Amino acid sequence: MRRTFGLILASAAAFIAGGAAFGQVAGDECTNAITVTADTAVNFNTNNMTPSADAPVDGPCPFLDWGASKDIWFKFTPPATGLGVITLCGSSYDTSMVVYTGTCAALTRVDCDDDTCGSLYESIIEGISFTGGTTYYIRIGGWNADAGAGTMLITVAPVSGGCENATGACNNPHGTPGCNDAVCCTQVCATNPLCCDIGWDLDCVNAAVQLCGVFYYTCTPTGPANNCATNATAVPATGSYPFNTNGATMDGPDHPGSTCASGTNTFFNDVWWKFTSAANGVCTVSTCGTVSYDNKLAVYAFDTATPDFNTLNTALVACNDDGPAPCLLTDGVTPYASLVSFNALAGKTYYVRMGSYVSGQTGTGSISFTLPEACQLPTSNATENEACGSSGNGGCNDVAGGAPVQPIALGDKVAGTFWANAGTRDTDWYSLTLTATPRSPPRSRRARSRRCSSSAAPAPRP
């Protein structure tokens, strides 16, 4: 009996260690994803799968419409860095696919696709930058919870020889061959070998912009004074600032319409403002009720006051096309003005970009900024012994009772912290130790008056 019981335990432990729960189909969850290799076609069928938690939102891939889709998981670890393709072309149903890195407990989306190939709207991801030794999780579902049988094939093209250990950014011209993104470098050098043989000139940069999606900043300072990000108008404080976009060109990057709640990726005829946040807090930028045309807003954050504008495409922190009602144009009716709110951090420099929804649409108006302001407190000679967010001197207000009360002296000016969370707020308790009993203030004596009299005799008391 002992022997049989021991065998059952060992078998169960081995099964659990293998990453699958009892009765779970291989690949049904990220935690028991099926390992695959390059250049080997893998057949799958999602009819027998169950929907995993945390369904992916459309994000950069419109029309995923994942919903309660039955999905299957695979994991792939390329042995070397290269340019990859993951294809579901030829599958029997309308697929959707998302690729992640990280761990099953903390996945980061790398790329996704809905229906780039095939008459049945199958998915394919081309030009994915695989890093050697990194594990990628591939999640396959269906549009509007469609399910069925399919085939997946992964291929990886090695990087070009001229791209190995190359230096210099792919979106910056430089005199040495290649650039520091081996996958992008390989793509560019396949079309223009001189980029890997002689040097990375502007032609190579332009090719990288087209093939790899990098951003190369360029702007001619014509038209409005703040036409270019490099000439952004400084915003000194909360307030409303007039603008005129007539003659403005475009120098910022595109952003997915789904990210900015917009029907287009482009910010046409843009102009710029900038400010450095004086404190942590919510910042709001708005054109609601102050513009004459359909405009868009985007905000970018940098750690320095002199940023590298080639990184604008990765510095976006907030954007909006049509603000929430009643965010209207100056006609008081059309709801196409814009509003963004975001958490600004003290010391960071923010660039605010305002463009138009339609190319060539320009006009006048004003833009309002509500900026976080630093607290101006009087000089103190004592400090509260409590970290922000804690309740170290809650005194009688402490729920558990018996919390410390901080002693202070007469004449102290105490600098401290404050906080609130939902229905709870910070209360601080202090104690004073008196070395002597204070004297009571003297009583005031009621004034006595004398009535005027024509005689010299004293007037009677009232």
For the stretch 76-113, pLDDT in tens is: 999 988 889 999 999 999 999 999 999 999 999 999 99
Which residues, at least 6 apart from 4, have a Cβ–Cβ distance to it below 8 Å?
A: none
Is 151 in the same domain as 167? Answer: no
pLDDT of residue 455: 38
Displacement of CA 351 from its chain's centroid (Å): 15
Asked, for residue 297, whether it belongs to a domain, the answer is: yes
- Strand, helix or coil for residue 108: strand
- Strand, helix or coil for residue 145: helix
Residue with tokens 């002693």: 407
Is 306 in the same domain as 355? Answer: yes
Distances (CA, A) of 255 to 86, 146, 352: 24, 29, 14
Residue 289: closest CA among 365, 379, 353: 365
Is 233 in the same domain as 360? Answer: yes
Asked, for residue 435, whether it belongs to a domain, the answer is: no
The last residue of a domain, from among 335, 370, 405: 370
Asked, for residue 444, whether it belongs to a domain, the answer is: no
Answer yes or no: are the C-beta atoms of 406 and 430 closer than 8 Å: yes
Asked, for residue 383, whether it belongs to a domain, the answer is: no
pLDDT of residue 1: 33
Answer yes or no: are the C-beta atoms of 418 and 442 closer than 8 Å: no
Is 316 in the same domain as 329? Answer: yes
Alpha carbons 262 and 296: distance in angstroms, whole number? 8
Is 257 in the same domain as 186? Answer: no
Is 147 in the same domain as 241? Answer: no
Answer yes or no: are the C-beta atoms of 42 and 138 closer than 8 Å: no
Is 240 in the same domain as 176? Answer: no
Asked, for residue 394, whether it belongs to a domain, the answer is: no
The last residue of a domain, from among 370, 387, 415: 370
pLDDT of residue 450: 38
Asked, for residue 415, whether it belongs to a domain, the answer is: no
The torsion angle over the Cα atoms of residues 23, 26, 28 and 33, rounded to 10 degrees, is 140
Q: Give me the count of residues in the chain.
A: 462
For residue 33, the domain's CATH number is 2.60.120.380
List the domain range (segments joined by +) for residue 328.
229-370
The last residue of a domain, from among 370, 394, 428: 370
Asked, for residue 17, whether it belongs to a domain, the answer is: no
pLDDT of residue 19: 40
Is 234 in the same domain as 255? Answer: yes
pLDDT of residue 302: 97
Is 110 in the same domain as 146? Answer: yes
Asked, for residue 397, whether it belongs to a domain, the answer is: no
What's the structural domain count of the chain?
3
Alpha carbons 170 and 191: distance in angstroms, whole number? 15
- Spell out, as residue ranges, where the chain has pLDDT lower than 50: 1-22, 445-462
pLDDT of residue 384: 84
Is 305 in the same domain as 354? Answer: yes
Is 205 in the same domain as 289? Answer: no
Which residues, at least 6 apart from 9, have a Cβ–Cβ distance to it below 8 Å?
A: none
Is 83 in the same domain as 170? Answer: no
Alpha carbons 126 and 356: distance in angstroms, whole number? 31
